[in-house]
Amino acid sequence: MNEPFFDDTVPLDDLLRNAGNYIRPRDELRASILECVRDGVDRKHRRRRWFFSFSAASGVMAMTLVVGGLGLSLVPRGRTADELFSQATRRAHVARQTNTIGVSESGTSWQWALSEVFADWRRVQR
């Protein structure tokens, strides 16, 4: 097959270089390529922003948990219910023993002893 525009004597590099002078892109090609590139860059920036936001939020949550946990372990707490009830039970037991001997008449019931323990606890808190 005979090709009219192909000549074996001219090197291929020269043909390609000369073809560059004849081929011109359309005017809308540059705009569409730029638009595609911008879309790709915008997606990339959105992903980075999302990842950074997620990382920052995770870090803040982790720090809050760590600091909160340390704060709870370092801050002295008030008396627990078990301590209050055991103190009320001891006070009621002591009151019953002193009543049988006849030394004291204060707070013979457990409920009254519990109310005295709460009253003492409130005085200490102030």
Q: State the chain's mean pLDDT as an integer.
A: 78
Range of lowest pLDDT (26-30, 44-48, 49-53, 97-101): 97-101
What is the model's pLDDT at position 107? 46
Question: Which residues are CB-contacts of 32 (< 8 A; sequence separation ≥ 6)?
Answer: none
Q: What's the pTM value of the predicted model, to 2 decimals?
A: 0.39
